[in-house]
Amino acid sequence: MKTHYLNEKEENSIQTAAEILKNGGLVAIPTETVYGLAANALDGKAVAKIFTAKGRPQDNPLIVHVASLDEISPLVESVDPRLYSLAEKYWPGPLTVIMKKSSLIPDEVSAGLDTVAIRMPSHETARKIIEISGVPLAAPSANASGKPSPTKASHVIQDLDGRIDAVVDGGECSVGVESTVVTLATEPPTLLRPGGITPAQLEAVLGEIQISPAVFEKLKEGEKAESPGMKYKHYAPAAQVTIIKGDFESFKKFVVAQKETVCAVCFKGEGKHFENYIEYGSENDADSQAHSIFDALREVDKTGCNTAFVRCPVSSGVGLAVYNRLLRSAAFRVIDLDFSIPVIGLTGQTGAGKSTVGTILKDKGCYTVDTDLLARKAVENPEVIARLCEKFGDDIVSVGVLDRRELARRAFATPEGTKALNLITHPEITRLAVEEIHKAEAEGAKAAVIDAALLFESPLTAVCDKTVCVVADEKIRLERIVKRDGISEADARLRMNAQPDEEYYKSKSDIIINNNGEDLDVKFDFIQEG
Ligand code: TXA
Ligand code: MG
C-alpha cells in the first residue's frame, strides 16, 4: 500500500483525508497531543485495520474523537452531567473521558469493555477532518505499537509508511504527550493516564478523584488493568532507558563514569557535558518537557548508543505525564542517586584486607554492600542473561538456568571476553548497589560501604562520595592468601599478578589505609563515632 503524504496547508488535503476515512481507510491525523491513526469509529472493519497496521494488542481499546458535544449522546448509554462541566473547561483539548458505551460502538473500538473513551481535540485540522468526514473517529497514537508516540508527521512515516492510506502533516504537536484519561464509570472518578490536563485541574471540576496505581507502578503478573494500555511495554526506543533521580551533578558524575558509550537525555543547557546527548525541555518547565520527550526518545537511537540515562522530571502537574511516559519507556528502571548518608567505595588488592576494614566499619554502624553477592544476583536478571547469551552464546543457559561456570570459562578466556562480561554486568551491579544504599538509609546506617574489588573498573565510583583503598606489603598479602584460601604460594602469586599494581589503586583513591599490622582501626571524619 502506498501511503499518501498530505499537507494540511495544501488545498483539498483535508477533503482527501475525510474521503479516505468515509470509505473505510486509515489516515494519520495531527492533534494537539500526538498524531492519531484514525478510522471511522462506527465501522468495525475499518477499526480492525488500525490494530493490524500498528501491531496493537487486540484487548487495548481506542479513543473516539468528536468535533462537537452533540455527537456524544448516541455513543454512550447516557451522558454523565459531569461531562458537560469538564467539557466546558477543558474541551476542546487534551482530555479523554470514559463513560458507559451504547450499542453503536463496535467491539473493535471498546475491545470488549462496556465503556467508551471520548475526546474532543483542539487541533484545527483534526476538527475539520472529523467534521468533513461526518463520523466520529477512533484513533490511537499513530506509532508502531511499543514505540514512542509520534509528535511529527515524520515519526508516523518512520513507523507506518506503507501500512496506512495517508498521513496529514499538521506540523509539530503542541502538547506532545497523549491526553489525560479519566473514567466517570468509577466512584470517585479515576485518573487512568496523566496528560496535559493535570490532576488538580480535574479535581477543580470533579472534586475528589483517585489515581490508578498503574500510573506509577508496574502491574503485577495477572493483575487486571483498568486501562489496558497501561500494561504493555511502551514508548521504548531500541536502547535501554534508565531514569536517574537526583541533581544534575550526580547525574553528570554517573553518566561520565559509564564504561560504555551512553546517551544522556537531559535538560536544556546540560548537553555540553556529554559526548552523546539529547536535550528535552527545560528543567523547570514541564510543558517544554512534554513537548519534546517523545521526539527525544526517538532521537536516542540515532546516536547509536545501546544505553540511555534520562534526567528525572518533577512528577507533579504536567510533569506527572512526562514521568509516567518515561517510567514505561524505562520499563520502570529508576536509579535514585539522592542519598542522605555518605557512600564509601572500598577496594584494594587481594590479601590487603579490605574485608577486615569492611568488618570494622560495620561494627561502627556502617552498612556494607558485598558486590560479589550482587554480581551473582546481577546474572539472574533476564535482561542481563539475554545480553550475555548474545555475546557468549545461547548455550550458556541450560534448562532456563545460567551456567555460571561455563560463562566464566568463556568470558575469562580472553581480555576482550572479560571486558565484555564487565560491560554487561557492571551496570546491573551498580543499580543493585544503589538499591542497597537506600536499604542502608532506611536501616539508619551511618554510611554505606561498597566493598568492590573492581571498584575503578565499574561505574560504581560514580555513586561514592569517597573512595578508599586498603594496601599491605606484598609478603604479608602472600601469606594471608595462602592461609585464607589454602593454596600454594605459586597459585597465590598468579592471582596477585592478575591484578593491577598498588600504585593504580593508590592513585585513584581519596583515602589510603595501611593494613600491615594487627591492631587496625579505621576512622573517617565524615562518619560520626559513638
Ligand atoms: O492524546 C491522545 O489521547 C491520543 C490522540 C491521538 O488523541 N490518542 C491516544 O490513544 O493516546 P492510545 O490508543 O494510544 O491510548 C488510549 C489509552 C489506552 O491506554 C487505552 O487502554 C485507554 O486509553 N482506553 C481507551 N478506551 C478505554 C476504556 N474504555 N477504558 C479504559 N481505558 C481505555
Ligand atoms: Mg498509544
State pLDDT tens for residues 410-426.
Answer: 999 999 999 999 999 99
Alpha helices in 71-171 (DSSP H): 81-90, 107-110, 124-133, 153-160
**What is the model's pLDDT at position 429?**
97
Q: Ligand 1: distance of its center to the CA of 530 in Å?
A: 57
Segment 44-91, tens digit of pLDDT: 999 999 999 999 999 999 999 999 999 999 999 999 999 999 999 999
Which residue's CA is the closest to the ligand 1 atom numbered 6?
36
CB neighbour list of residue 475: distance below 8 Å, 6 or more residues apart:
none
Which has the higher per-residue pLDDT, 398 or 168? 168
pLDDT bin (cut points 50, 70, 90) of residue 232 is low
What CA–CA distance (Å, rounded) separates 248 from 89? 37
Nearest 10 degrees: Cα torsion 437, 439, 443, 449: -30
Encoded amino acid at 20, one letter:
I
More confident residue, 529 or 203: 203
Distance from C-alpha of 108 to C-alpha of 100, rounded to nearest angstrom? 15
Atom of ligand 1 nearest to the CA of 141: 14
Least confident of 51-60, 387-396, 473-482, 518-527: 518-527
pLDDT at 530 over 70: no
Reading the block at residue 373, the C-alpha cell is 553477592
Percent over 70 (pLDDT), the chain:
98
* Residues whose beta carbon lies within 6 Å of some atom of ligand 1: 31, 33-34, 36, 60-63, 96, 98, 110, 113, 115-117, 119, 139-141, 178-179, 181, 192-193, 227-230
Assess contact for 119 and 97: CB atoms under 8 A. yes
Question: What's the 287 CA to ligand 2 centre distance in angstroms?
Answer: 19
Distance 407 CA to ligand 2 centre (A): 40
The span from the CA of 145 to the CA of 168, in Å, is: 20
Question: Average pLDDT, stretch 498-527?
Answer: 90
Give the mutation target among 90, 98, 178, 234 for probing the ligand 1 site: most ligand atoms within 8 A of CB.
178
Residue 231, pLDDT score = 63
CB 243 within 8 A of CB 310: yes
Q: What is the mean pLDDT of residues 15-32?
A: 98
Give percent of the chain above pLDDT 90. 91
Task: Report, as an integer, the average pLDDT of 183-208.
Answer: 98
Interval between CA 148 and ligand 2 midpoint (Å): 8
Region 298-324: mean pLDDT is 96
In this predicted structure, what is the pLDDT of residue 399? 84
Instruction: With beta carbons less than 8 A apart as the criterion, state whether 151 and 293 touch.
Output: no
The number of residues making up the chain comes to 530
Nearest CA to ligand 1 atom 31: 227
Pocket test of ligand 1: the residue of 32, 58, 181 to mutate, having most ligand atoms within 8 Å of its CB, is 181
> Could you tell me the distance, in angstroms and rounded to a whole number, from the CA of residue 104 to the centre of ligand 1?
18
Pocket test for ligand 1, best of 63, 164, 212 (most atoms within 8 A of CB): 63
Q: Has residue 32 got a pLDDT over 80?
A: yes
Q: Compute the distance from residue 229 Cα to the ligand 2 centre, in Å.
A: 7
Atom 5 in ligand 1: residue holding the nearest Cα: 36
Give the pairing of strands 63-65 and 137-138. Answer: antiparallel
For residue 215, report the distance from its CA to the centre of ligand 1, in Å.
Answer: 14
Confidence of residue 230 (pLDDT cuts 50, 70, 90): low
CA atoms within 13 A on the CB side of 504: 11
Is 70 exceeded by the pLDDT of residue 408? yes
Expressed in angstroms and rounded, the spacing between residue 176 Cα and the centre of ligand 2 is 12
**Residue whose CB lies within 8 A of the most ligand 1 atoms, among 26, 27, 60, for a mutation test:** 60
Atom in ligand 1 nearest the alpha carbon of residue 37: 6
In this structure, which ligand is nearest to the CA of 230? Answer: 1
Q: Chain-wide mean pLDDT for the chain? A: 95
Mutate to test the pocket of ligand 1, among 75, 96, 160 (most ligand atoms within 8 A of CB): 96
Ligand number nearest CA of 224 is 1
Return the pLDDT at 400: 79
Ligand nearest to the Cα of 101, by number: 1
Specify burial of residue 253 (Cβ count, 10 A radius: 0-12, 13-18, 19+). middle
Report which bound ligand comes closest to the CA of 117: 1
> Which ligand has the shortest distance to the CA of 62?
1
Mutation test residue for ligand 1: of 47, 113, 141, the one with most atoms within 8 Å of CB: 141
CA of 141 to the centre of ligand 2 (A): 4
What is the residue with the minimal CA distance to atom 15 of ligand 1? Answer: 140
Phi (first) and psi of residue 476, to 5 degrees: -65, -40
Confidence of residue 363 (pLDDT cuts 50, 70, 90): very high
Q: Which atom of ligand 1 is closest in space to residue 139's alpha carbon?
A: 6
Least confident range of 208-217, 229-238, 428-437: 229-238
In this structure, which ligand is nearest to the CA of 37? 1
Q: Which atom of ligand 1 is nearest to the CA of 29?
A: 6
Q: What pLDDT, on the 0 to 100 scale, is given for residue 223?
A: 72
The pLDDT assigned to 517 comes to 78
Which H or E element spans position 263?
strand 263-266
Residue, of 218 and 266, whose pLDDT is higher:
266
